[in-house]
Every structure is written in structure tokens, then in C-alpha cells.
Structure 1
């Protein structure tokens, strides 16, 4: 089987397509034939920067990816036999980009209803809910979201619809139309549009652009920045880096919301034939227009 591995820190084009034996099913495992995988920005950062993560999965060589969708083709004697031939969404932070994947954690495997396509399921991320929790728990009534046109940003905006705060989704001028078309009931802003001064505000930072954060800070007296992209910085005193924890209940909730159409999926460009390098370059070189996927 083919696995996509990072072997050094020389960037996207150094990824290697490695032939490996198909995993053997153990008593407590489920074997998945992978069909579609999301391309995530964190992989691209890790591929060129050895300090991009403090996670235990930073050792090389490593299989890239954290999640995907596939079909169960075999189960161990201690796992549910009814899973055979079922479509599933899986989490696997230790690496997902392989033609076959062995799941040994029941909490990281989710059967998919017929109402959700493989591509829709592959867009799933719980990072937006981490930011939502920070926003809800803050005392600030003003919320600015950088990178609001991203996959995480648009999921977050949908999930904030019932939150009673002043929401300011920030995008580049070229992304306003895209976001307005996808979520027509939400007003969008560029940084230049934010002329009023705030006594206090929380910034949910998805873009990871220090220049944008500095510009915003000029108009905010009491500022809290919660970032999913910048781990360390010295510019702001009230700053917090947050990341997703892989929680079963959260993903069950997301799958239910997708299934009943209370959450809209964000499918972008889909690449075929394991073309991970082209997919990552596309993600790096273009404005976010939905989750970039790779078919296997």
C-alpha cells in the first residue's frame, strides 16, 4: 500500500510516496480502506519547520494527516462485526495518509449516515468548537475573527449563530464575496473596515498574521487574542494558544449537525490519485475556498 511520509523539513516537494505492507488486523483493531483525506495547513507547517509543533508525533519519518474517511474491510474479534462494509470517519493524529489504516481506538471511529457524503465528512474539524468555547467563556461582548473565510472560520461562524455577542468576521477584500455567498446573512469586514475603537474585544485568530493582529490592537484597549496558529509570540501580553482535543462526543455532535443540515460542509478542490503535493501547493497558494481533499 502507499503511504505519504514526511522524511525531512525541506517542504512539500520532499514528501515521499512509500510502499508499505498492508496492516494486519489484530484482535482489537478495525482495518479501513481509505477513500478521501483532508489537506490541513498544520501538515504544511510541520513539513518545513521542526519547531512548528510540540506534539509527540513530530518525529520523522511520519505519515502525514490526522483524519479521513473510508470503508471498513476487516475487524478484529473484539470489535463490532457490524462495521464491515460501513463508511466511517476516523481520527488518527499519528498519521492518516495511507491506502489502508488500522484503527485501534473505538473513540476515534465514527459510522457515517447515508445523508453525509465522503467529501462532506472529510471536512469535519472540531477546532472551531475550541474557539467557540473560548468566545462563550470570555467576558468580552465584541468578537473579531481573523481568517473568517477559512474552513474553520466558516464552521465557527455557523456555530456562533446563537451566541449573543457582536461578531466581526474579518477577511481579505477578495474573500468577501465568497463568504457572503456561503453565509449571506452574515456581514463581513476587512481590517480597513474596522474604524471604531473598542473598549474590549476577543480576537479569535485563525489567520495567524501578526501584522493583522497588530493593526487590530491599535483600536482595542483591553484585548485578548486566542490563536490556533501562533504558538509563541512576544508582542501581546494577553495571548493564548489553543488546539483541538480529539473528543468523541464533539465529533458525534458535528456529524449529527451535518446530517440534519444545521451545519453546512465546506468542500473545496478535490485532487485524485494520491496527489498530495499538488493539493498542498494549491492550499498554500490560494485563498481558502473550502476544505481541500485528496482521493485515495
Structure 2
């Protein structure tokens, strides 16, 4: 069984593909053949040791937190109806492995027939993070003008869509090549950070709330210099000092209720929420995949593929 292992905090280049023992089934097990694992900023930040203050981990560890796959077997205390069912979920002990042993408490959810395994792999670490931000933390409403930084990425795509579902006015910041994509997501306007950025930020008007899905402190500072009373929620940088006294900043990557995962997957299945896939990489190319995703201009979420036969 192949898996992607982190043995040091030396960054992306230190990742290794290793052979591990097949998981031993317990009465609480759901044995899952992994299909897709999302590539998340959380991964490369953790691989560089940047998250130890908020999420300490012991090495070595299998990377990855969420996944989609097919249940192949279950233990005596799990529902046998799960066998052969497509599921998505999370596994705190790592997901970048050809086989996952999901134990109780189960963090797995069935995938309806109108949602693909690829789409489902974007939910945890993407749609759920934004759901918490939009509904639980920021309480975005029709009265808000919302700025989404990194609006075209795996998180940003959902931030634009969910803020629009609340009838807010939404402005997205992305690369010039992704501006049309951000408008297709439903944004009212799209600003390119690599083309006349300062001019456009000065002319965009006041915003009430900012969702930061990138974690670029220089970019955020430039924006806030042109704003006054505004609330900033970052999903990707833990520390930042706002330049003005009436600007609030917080980092939050909180969880949502289990029933809300069913709501999200049903929204995707009904076509009310789109899950865009930017690129799929063989898991053996994890170093290349993370480096491209970290530095590239994504339109949606990139995934690692397992068991592609």
C-alpha cells in the first residue's frame, strides 16, 4: 500500500512515497479505497512547520485530511450497507494513502448519484470552511459588500458562490487570467492582483467584510489602506495586524455541523453550488502538484488521484 509521508518540517520537497502496511480491520472500521485527496494550503503550511502553534503534529505522518473513495469492507459494528458505496470524509491520521481505515467516530458521508467523486473531494477543506465563514462567523447578508481574496481557488470559488446565495454584493480578487472565471461564479466585479491592482482597489468602493483565502499579508495591507470600518476573516493566515484601529482581523478555520455536509452535497447535486476541478495529478507527482498549486492561478480545486485503474 503506497502512501505519502512527511518525516520532517523541511517543506514540500521532503515528502516521500512509501510503502505501508495494509490497515487491520477492527469492529469499528470502514476500509476505503481512496480515489481523490484535495491539495490544500493546510498541507504545505504544515509541511513547513507553520501550523505547529495551532495544530501540533508528531512526525512521521501521512499527509492529507479529507478524501473521497469507495468503501470496500467494514467491521462488525459498522453498517454493511456501506460496502461498495462512494463516500467523502475526513481522517485525522491522514488520507494520502491508497487505503484508508476510517474509525468511529465516523467522519464519512454518502455521495449521491448526481455528485461525482471529484466534486465530493472538494467539500471538506473547501465548501465546509466557507460555509462556517459565511453563515457562522460573518453572518453575511444582502446588506454586505464582500471582498473575496483568492476568489478563483478551491476555497474562493465557494466563498463567491455562498456570499451570492446570501444576496451580498461580491467583489473577487484573482489573477488576470481568472477574472472571467470569477465573474462566472457570480461575482459582481473581479479585480486582477497582477494588473492595475492599486488603481482598481482605490476605485472599488467600500466593503464591509473581507474573506481572505490566500494569506498574502502584503496584498491584504494594500487593500485595508483604502478601507475604513471592515471585518476581515482569514482562512489561511493565522496572524496579521490591521493597519487601522477600526479594522478587525481574525483567523478561523472552524467546523460545521454534520447535517450541514448533507446540505452542501445536495446543493452540489442540484446544481445550486458548483464544484470546479482545476487539475488532477497522480499521487506519485505530489511534490510537483503541491508546488504548482501553491504558486499557480487555480480555477477551482486541484486533486491527487489514487487507485486510478
Counterparts of residues 170-209 of structure 1 (less than 5 Å) = 170-180=173-183, 182-183=184-185, 186-190=188-192, 191=197, 192-196=199-203, 201-209=208-216
1:101-150 deviation line (CA, Å, top 9, x unaligned): 11113541111112111111112121111221233268973321111111
Distance 1:164 1:120, change over 3 A: closer
**TM-superposed deviation, 1:247:** 3.7
Q: Is 1:105 equivalent to 2:104 in the alignment?
A: yes
Q: Is the 8 A contact 1:197 1:219 kept in 2?
A: no
Q: Once superposed, what is the RMSD of the aligned Cα atoms?
A: 2.2
**TM-superposed deviation, 1:75:** 0.7
The equivalent of 1:239 in structure 2 is 249
Distance 1:69 1:164, change over 3 A: closer
Task: Calculate the TM-score normalised by the size of structure 2.
Answer: 0.87
The equivalent of 2:29 in structure 1 is 29
Q: Distance in 1 between matches of 2:272 and 2:78?
A: 32
1:64-91 deviation line (CA, Å, top 9, x unaligned): 1111111111111111011111111121
1:11-51 deviation line (CA, Å, top 9, x unaligned): 21211112111111111121111111111111011112x23
Q: Distance in 1 between matches of 2:176 and 2:219?
A: 14
Segments of 5+ residues of structure 2 without an aligned counterpart are: none
**TM-superposed deviation, 1:230:** 1.2
Q: Distance in 2 between matches of 1:107 and 1:25?
A: 14
Distance 1:92 1:57, change over 3 A: farther
Q: Is the 8 A contact 2:150 2:156 kept in 1?
A: yes
Query: Higher mean Cα deviation, 5-14 or 197-206?
Result: 197-206
Q: Secondary structure at the match of 1:195?
A: helix
The equivalent of 1:129 in structure 2 is 131
**TM-superposed deviation, 1:257:** 0.9
Task: Calculate the TM-score normalised by the size of structure 1.
Answer: 0.91
The equivalent of 1:145 in structure 2 is 148
Segments of 5+ residues of structure 1 without an aligned counterpart are: none
Q: Secondary structure at the match of 2:214?
A: coil
**TM-superposed deviation, 1:209:** 1.3
Q: Distance in 2 between matches of 1:204 and 1:84?
A: 39
The equivalent of 1:42 in structure 2 is 42
The equivalent of 1:218 in structure 2 is 225
Q: Is the 8 A contact 2:132 2:256 kept in 1?
A: no
